[in-house]
Amino acid sequence: MRAIVLAMLLLAWTAGTAPAGGLDDIRNGNAAFREGRYEQAVEFFTAAIVSGELDVEALAIAYNNRGVAHDQLGDYDRAVADYREALSLKPEDAMSRRNLRVVLVRRGVALANTGEYQRALADLTRAIELGPDKAIAWLRRAQVRMESGDLEGAAADLARARELAPGDEEIARAEQRLARLGEAARRAALQLTGETAPEPAAAPAEDVATPTPPPSTGTSEPVAASAPATAEPAAAEPAAETVPAGTAAVAAVAEEGRPYRALADVNVRSGPGNRYPARRIAPKGTVVRVIGEQLGWKEVVFEDGGRGFIYRKWLEPVEGAG
How many domains in the chain? 2
Q: What is the pTM of this model?
A: 0.60
144, 280: one domain? no
| 259-312 per-position pLDDT tens digit | 999 998 888 888 888 777 877 888 888 999 998 888 788 989 988 788 889 988
Q: Which residue has the higher pLDDT, 19 or 83?
A: 83
| One domain, residues 164 and 294 | no
One domain, residues 304 and 220: no
Same domain, yes or no, for 226 and 267? no
301 in a domain, yes or no? yes
Same domain, 168 and 262: no
- Round to whole Å and give the CA distance between 268 and 289: 13
Mean pLDDT of all residues belonging to the chain: 76
Q: Are residues 17 and 103 in the same domain?
A: yes
Confidence of residue 104 (pLDDT cuts 50, 70, 90): very high
Instruction: Give the model's confidence band at 243: pLDDT under 50 very low, under 70 low, under 90 confident, else very high.
Output: very low
10 Å CB burial of residue 137 (0-12, 13-18, 19+) is buried
Q: Are residues 152 and 297 in the same domain?
A: no
CB 132 within 8 A of CB 109: no
CA-angle at 192, arms to 186 and 196, nearest 5°:
65
Instruction: Report the range out of 127-136, 217-226, 256-265, 281-290 with the highest average pLDDT.
Output: 127-136
CATH code, domain carrying 128? 1.25.40.10
Q: Is the pLDDT of residue 70 over 90?
A: yes
Q: In which domain, by residue range, is 102 found?
A: 2-235
Q: Tell whether 39 and 166 lie within a shared domain.
A: yes
